[in-house]
Amino acid sequence: MNWIILIVAGLFEVGFTSCLGKAKETTGSEMYWWYVGFLVSLVVSMLLLMKATESLPMGTAYAVWTGIGAVGTVLIGIFVFKDPTTFWRLFFIVILIGSIIGLKVVSH
């Protein structure tokens, strides 16, 4: 169950980084709503990370959390913000996903 909590925490990390990106592109009240989304996502992500680390090793949980956030943020960047897609970016994203899976496999 704590692995599921950790994955959800990582997805909220993607949420708060994406909200920052959208806030940067907007102005006025819409910008403030993106900042509200950032704060809510940040708080939820941190609370879930804290919950997950009650039974998972801190180093493993943090690495997985940041890995999910990094992969998700790069994918959001590619699909939403039209960041460039190159062979090497995709290659290293696949390596990062493999590393996250590897940490799950070797953790007790």
Q: Where are the domains of the chain?
A: 2-106
What pLDDT does 56 receive? 93
Distance from C-alpha of 16 to C-alpha of 11, rounded to nearest angstrom: 9
Q: Model confidence at 74, in pLDDT bands (50, 70, 90)?
A: very high
Beta strands in 32-102 (DSSP E): none
pLDDT tens track for 21-51:
999 999 999 999 999 999 999 999 999 999 9
The end-to-end CA distance of the chain, in Å, is 13
Distance from C-alpha of 28 to C-alpha of 33, rounded to nearest angstrom: 9
Q: Model confidence at 13, in pLDDT bands (50, 70, 90)?
A: very high
- Side-chain half-sphere exposure of 46, counting CA atoms within 13 A: 6
| DSSP label of 107 | -
Distances, alpha carbon 84 to alpha carbons 23, 61, 80, in Å: 20, 29, 11
Q: Taking the model in full, what pTM does it have?
A: 0.88
**Does the pLDDT at position 108 exceed 80?**
no
**Does the pLDDT at position 89 exceed 80?**
yes
CB neighbours of 83 closer than 8 A, spacing ≥ 6?
A: 74, 77
What pLDDT does 107 receive? 81
